[in-house]
Amino acid sequence: MSHKIRSLRDSSQALLLCLVLMIHPLKAWSELIIRVTQGNDKPTIVAVAPMVMSGNQLAEDISAIIESDLQRSGLFKTIPRGNMLAFPTDPEDVYFRDWRLLGGEYLIVGSVIAVQQGGIELSFSLLDVNAQKTVFKHSVKGSTSQLRDLAHLASDKVYKEITGIRGAFSTRLAYVTANQKDGRLVYRLNVSDSDGARERVMLKSAEPIMSPSWSPSGDELAYVSFETGRPAIFRQSLTTAVRKQLTNFRGLNGAPSWSPDGKQLALVLSKDGNPEIYILALATNKFTRMTRHFAIDTEPTWSPDGKSLLFTSDRGGTPQIYKLTVATRAVQRITFKGNYNARPSLAPDGRTLVMVHRESGVFHIATLDLVTGRMLELTETRLDESPTVAPNGAMLIYATKQGDRGILSAVSLDAGVKYFLPAKSGDVREPAWSPFLR
């Protein structure tokens, strides 16, 4: 939601209009691109030998995709292909001395073969150059249209083996773009790979779209659309594109957040005169009011165990983050440092709270350790908003500005790794990182 909660008491519609104005239109739109601006001080040096399919030209360069994935994490530096002395595809063909001369610590080799029913199989190995041994051999199968999927799976496997953290390269992003066409605004709800590739437009509208939220299964989105003339919450299948309108109340219908079990949505409604947190049971279409306060309660997000909600409220005089226990509806204030804390998002560990924090009049993305109370500012840019955490808890993506353009940016939760995800042209906002996909 918006940074301007305190100014919205008089009109719940103003809350949504403020959000709309934060999406600045430009003249074009396209896939996201990646620009790593800060990596680990001591990255692991990895070489990814070219992986080919004998007698066939692959539509995607699998090795290049793996290289890009690992570099984007900020924890790895890859050896340029032009510097390689050989292109082995099997561990038995590797001369470790050649790779030590290049400074390599790990080497990835592999190849693609055709299998039954027109499918393909990617076989790849991770080798420890210094220990001169094969760490693992693995293979994944798919179709020729799934080359990028197979490459991301290989990246996930390598990342997990070296770092001990599950890779999130096979996940996806949802985000909203806006541009002008023939003097009118056009909004698009897009879904892409985690690296911005294979962008798909899920909804195109002349009216604003905002607040996308992933279902736990990763096959649906909930979001807010103004296409009916007022804000309404929809859910949409990403496989069939079938949509269903979930709310049609007067006033505010916003900020949908899917419960961890996929059976409920937390959302904000002002149908009773004031923005309050509600829970919608999707099977019965029953709405349960969770908060009762004259202040604005908004931006609900679930805890990983589904037993509580975090939300933003100005009930204490300034926007702060509160915890609501679902079973008892007891409310507890969580944030105290600073006169503005909003847009809560919990990391998968349930301990690290990510939020928009204002310090010295500037909005930054910050984390709060709910156990120790330690706060860490992760970003240095202005007008940072809408943080969304990767399902492995290693990175988060947020919306910010670069010049007069709205872009997405990513930062690790220790602030050691940073990269930008601008569109090749145009504006992009409202990011949402998917869960792990089956």
Which domains does the chain possess? 5-23+171-433 (2.120.10.30), 41-163 (3.40.50.10070)
Q: CA-to-CA distance for 69 and 65, rounded, in angstroms? A: 6
At 75, give phi and psi (nearest 5°). Answer: -95, -10
What is the pTM for the complete model shown?
A: 0.89
Instruction: Tell the residue number behind the tokens 């790849």, with chain if given.
Output: 124
Q: Calculate helix-pair angle for 147-163, 62-72, nearest 10 degrees.
A: 40
* Cβ contact 49:64 at 8 Å: no
pLDDT for res 23: 32
pLDDT for res 37: 67
pLDDT for res 380: 78
First to last CA, the chain: 29
Q: What is the pLDDT of residues 170-206, one digit of tens each?
A: 999 999 998 877 778 889 999 999 999 999 999 999 9
The list of the chain residues with pLDDT below 50 reads 1-30
pLDDT for res 401: 86
pLDDT for res 39: 66
Q: CA-to-CA distance for 270 and 11, rounded, in angstroms? A: 10
The burial class, CB within 10 Å (0-12 / 13-18 / 19+), for 225 is buried
Q: CA-to-CA distance for 343 and 347, rounded, in angstroms? A: 13
* DSSP3 helix / strand / coil % (the chain, rounded to 5): 15, 45, 40
Q: CA-to-CA distance for 152 and 171, rounded, in angstroms? A: 9
In sequence order, what are the beta bridge partners of 401? 406
Among the listed residues 193, 195, 196, 253, the one whose alpha carbon sits nearest the alpha carbon of residue 223: 253
Length of the chain in terms of residues written: 438
* Cβ contact 394:413 at 8 Å: yes
pLDDT for res 138: 97
Q: CA-to-CA distance for 289 and 73, rounded, in angstroms? A: 41
Q: CA-to-CA distance for 232 and 16, rounded, in angstroms? A: 11
pLDDT for res 362: 83
Q: CA-to-CA distance for 140 and 154, rounded, in angstroms? A: 8
pLDDT for res 8: 41
